[in-house]
Structure formats: C-alpha cells, structure tokens
Structure 1
C-alpha cells in the first residue's frame, strides 16, 4: 500500500529521497547542496562588499574586522579576537551574530563611519 503525503514539505523530501535512491544521494544531500550553493553565493557577494575591512574607534580600543566570508573578528584593547561571529549588511545596516549567541547591530553613516553600540568606528 502506498502512502500519499499531502504536505508540500513532505512531498519535496519524499521526491528528493526517491530521486536520491536512484542516484545514491539522499534528500539531506540535496538540501545541503542547496544550502552550500547559497552560502557560496553570499560569500562571493560579500567579497565585493564596500564595507569589508577594518573599522576602529578613534582611541584604537575597539577594532572590528569585517571579513569577506561574512564573518567578523572584534578585538578589544589588548584582547585580540575578543568576539567572533557572522554578520550581514543590508543597505547601510549591519547585523552581528556572535558565536556565543550575542546579537548586535549598527549603521554605516557614510563610507567611512560605522555607528555600533554607542561607539563610532572609522575605516582603517
């Protein structure tokens, strides 16, 4: 007896699993491949983003390095890599997701100034 799945999500995974059975892959492989392609596209876009690079407070105490792979590395005083995580820029707004679960955001006021958490950072 054949079961019919009415949920579009179940239909997708069932179809992917059946297709994968013929090729030796699974529905999870199909989803993972799609996620990997999206991540690579995002990374390629970020590599060309104008805000990539080092952003520093005037006193040099806080330093944000926005990496081309969508990750950031923040140093505080003598503490290198005090915070690390991922970021996303939409227009002039940046969202941060620290690896420990902390979130923050900021705004690029012009091409050389970032307002973040009550601080002003400038491009270096």
Structure 2
C-alpha cells in the first residue's frame, strides 16, 4: 500500500494559522476596537514578563483613571471608585503599547517620554 505524500504548510500559511489561533486583531492607532472573543487564555509567550521602563502606575491629571502596568504583562485600570474597572494584558514595543482587555477590547498608546503616556485620547502621568 502506497503512503500518500505529506504536504507541509508554507511559512505564511503557518503564520496566519498561528495568528488566528491567538485571536489577535490589528490595532488602529489611537482607537479602541471590539473583539468578539475574549483573550483570557493567553499564549505562554504573552505571559512572560517584558523588560521595559514603563512598569508602574499611570494616572490622569484629575486622578479619575489609574492605570497600573504590572511586570507580568498584565494591567489593571481603576476608574473613580471602581478599582478593577478593566484588566487585561499589554505589550510594549519601543515607546508603543498595545492592550488586549479581558472583555475583548483592544487599544494602544504611546509613551511620549519616560513620565507621559498618551492612551485613548487621554494623557497619563507616572505616579
């Protein structure tokens, strides 16, 4: 009996399958998007701590929104008296940050200097 030939996927097909499996959406600069799938089951690579200088608490000038970037690539956002209004994972590349909220929202931002973050139309300062 003859064994059928083994077909291996091309690198681009394999990359597309991996990205689809991670349920990632493209990020549009400065705009939040809605993802219909939650991202609570993150790939192991996304749970590895990043080495960047932006870990810590970031706060709007009025103190209403407090955004804590944790060293394990997770964030917790408080709004007013709601201490855990939003939480999810993040990734920093240079001065750019991408967010994937556990409820399915995605967003991004830019660190304009070591103490200033522009995110979602707001300005945050390091506390």
| Both structures adopt the same fold (TM-score exceeding 0.5) | yes
Greater helix fraction, Structure 1 or Structure 2 = 1
Alignment TM-score, normalising by the size of structure 1: 0.69
CA distance in 2, matches of 1:76, 1:6: 52
Q: Which runs of 5+ in 2 are unaligned?
A: 11-42
Partner SS, residue 100 of structure 1: coil
Q: Which ranges of 4 or more aligned residues in structure 1 deviate by more than 6 Å?
A: none
- CA shift at 1:7, angstroms? 2.1
Aligned residues: 94
Question: What are the Cα deviations for residues 7-63 of structure 1, in whole angstroms up to 9, with x where unaligned?
Answer: 247xxxxxxxxxxxxxxxxxxxxxxxxx64x346xx24x1x3200111001111001
CA distance in 2, matches of 1:78, 1:51: 24
Query: Which of 43, 62, 65 pairs up with 1:62?
Result: 65
CA distance in 1, matches of 2:46, 2:5: 33
C-alpha RMSD of the superposition:
1.7
1:106 and 2:109 correspond: yes
Equivalent residue, structure 2, for 1:80: 83
Which structure is larger by alpha-carbon Rg, 1 or 2?
1
Asked if 1 retains the 8 angstrom alpha-carbon contact of 2:76 and 2:84, the reply is yes
Equivalent residue, structure 2, for 1:28: none
Alignment TM-score, normalising by the size of structure 2: 0.67
Q: Which runs of 5+ in 1 are unaligned?
A: 10-34
CA distance in 1, matches of 2:6, 2:59: 55
CA distance in 2, matches of 1:109, 1:8: 41
Q: Which has the higher contact order (CA 8 A, sep 6+)?
A: 2
